[in-house]
Protein backbone atom coordinates (compact mmCIF):
# COMPACT_ATOMS: atom_id res chain seq x y z
CA UNK A 1 0.00 0.00 0.00
CA UNK A 2 1.27 3.46 -0.82
CA UNK A 3 0.27 7.02 0.01
CA UNK A 4 1.50 10.08 -1.90
CA UNK A 5 1.32 13.72 -0.88
CA UNK A 6 1.55 16.82 -3.09
CA UNK A 7 4.13 18.30 -0.71
CA UNK A 8 6.70 16.52 1.48
CA UNK A 9 5.59 15.40 4.94
CA UNK A 10 7.63 14.35 7.96
CA UNK A 11 6.09 11.17 9.34
CA UNK A 12 7.47 9.50 12.47
CA UNK A 13 4.59 7.21 13.40
CA UNK A 14 1.67 5.36 11.89
CA UNK A 15 -1.25 3.26 13.01
CA UNK A 16 -2.61 -0.03 11.78
CA UNK A 17 -6.10 -1.21 12.65
CA UNK A 18 -6.81 -4.92 12.41
CA UNK A 19 -9.71 -6.13 10.32
CA UNK A 20 -13.05 -7.12 11.74
CA UNK A 21 -13.16 -10.83 11.07
CA UNK A 22 -10.22 -13.19 10.45
CA UNK A 23 -7.14 -12.82 12.71
CA UNK A 24 -5.06 -14.91 10.30
CA UNK A 25 -5.25 -12.06 7.79
CA UNK A 26 -3.59 -9.56 10.14
CA UNK A 27 -0.16 -8.32 9.05
CA UNK A 28 2.70 -9.93 10.97
CA UNK A 29 5.88 -8.76 9.20
CA UNK A 30 6.36 -5.56 7.20
CA UNK A 31 8.57 -2.66 6.19
CA UNK A 32 7.47 0.97 6.23
CA UNK A 33 9.38 3.12 3.74
CA UNK A 34 9.60 6.69 2.48
CA UNK A 35 10.56 8.16 -0.89
CA UNK A 36 11.04 11.62 -2.34
CA UNK A 37 10.54 10.48 -5.94
CA UNK A 38 8.39 7.33 -5.73
CA UNK A 39 11.23 5.23 -7.16
CA UNK A 40 14.01 5.12 -4.58
CA UNK A 41 12.79 3.97 -1.16
CA UNK A 42 14.34 4.27 2.30
CA UNK A 43 13.25 1.78 4.96
CA UNK A 44 12.11 3.73 8.02
CA UNK A 45 10.63 0.97 10.18
CA UNK A 46 10.71 -2.83 10.07
CA UNK A 47 8.46 -5.06 12.17
CA UNK A 48 8.45 -8.83 12.57
CA UNK A 49 6.23 -11.12 14.59
CA UNK A 50 3.58 -8.49 15.30
CA UNK A 51 0.17 -9.64 16.54
CA UNK A 52 -3.18 -8.01 17.16
CA UNK A 53 -5.00 -9.19 20.28
CA UNK A 54 -8.44 -8.23 18.99
CA UNK A 55 -10.57 -7.24 16.03
CA UNK A 56 -10.62 -3.60 14.93
CA UNK A 57 -7.71 -2.97 17.30
CA UNK A 58 -5.54 0.07 16.50
CA UNK A 59 -1.82 -0.10 17.26
CA UNK A 60 0.62 2.81 16.92
CA UNK A 61 4.17 2.33 15.64
CA UNK A 62 6.76 5.07 16.14
CA UNK A 63 10.24 5.49 14.71
CA UNK A 64 12.87 8.19 14.24
CA UNK A 65 12.67 10.18 11.02
CA UNK A 66 13.92 13.69 10.29
CA UNK A 67 13.37 13.58 6.51
CA UNK A 68 10.29 14.86 4.69
CA UNK A 69 9.04 12.47 1.99
CA UNK A 70 6.31 12.81 -0.63
CA UNK A 71 5.61 9.07 -0.72
CA UNK A 72 5.18 6.46 1.98
CA UNK A 73 4.46 2.77 1.64
CA UNK A 74 4.02 -0.28 3.77
CA UNK A 75 5.10 -3.62 2.34
CA UNK A 76 3.53 -6.59 4.11
CA UNK A 77 5.75 -9.68 3.86
CA UNK A 78 3.80 -12.06 6.12
CA UNK A 79 0.36 -12.40 7.69
CA UNK A 80 -0.81 -14.38 10.71
CA UNK A 81 -1.70 -17.42 8.62
CA UNK A 82 -2.65 -18.18 5.06
CA UNK A 83 -2.13 -15.82 2.16
CA UNK A 84 -4.95 -13.26 2.50
CA UNK A 85 -4.30 -9.83 4.00
CA UNK A 86 -6.62 -7.26 5.54
CA UNK A 87 -6.56 -4.05 7.55
CA UNK A 88 -9.40 -1.79 8.58
CA UNK A 89 -7.19 1.31 8.49
CA UNK A 90 -3.66 2.55 7.90
CA UNK A 91 -3.03 6.07 9.15
CA UNK A 92 0.15 8.17 8.92
CA UNK A 93 0.90 10.65 11.68
CA UNK A 94 2.75 13.78 10.63
CA UNK A 95 5.29 15.40 12.95
CA UNK A 96 3.86 18.80 13.97
CA UNK A 97 5.60 21.65 12.13
CA UNK A 98 6.87 23.21 15.37
CA UNK A 99 8.70 19.93 16.16
CA UNK A 100 10.33 19.52 12.74
Reported as a single tens digit per residue, the pLDDT across 49-78 is 999 999 999 999 999 999 999 999 999 999
pTM for the model: 0.94
Q: CA-CA distance, 37 to 67, in Å (whole number)?
A: 13
Asked whether the predicted pLDDT for residue 98 surpasses 90, the reply is no
CATH number of the 2-99 domain: 2.60.120.260
Q: CA-CA distance, 71 to 49, in Å (whole number)?
A: 25
**pLDDT tens for each residue of 31-55:** 999 999 999 999 999 999 999 999 9
The set of residues, in sequence order, having a beta carbon less than 8 Å from that of 46 and lying 6+ positions away, is 30, 31, 32
DSSP at 98: G
What is the band of 26 on the pLDDT scale with cuts at 50, 70, 90? very high
The residue count for the chain: 100
Q: What are the extents of the domains in the chain?
A: 2-99
Amino acid sequence: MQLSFPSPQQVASYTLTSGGDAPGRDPKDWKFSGSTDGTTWVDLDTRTGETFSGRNLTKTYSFKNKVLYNHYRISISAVGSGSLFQLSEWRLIEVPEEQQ
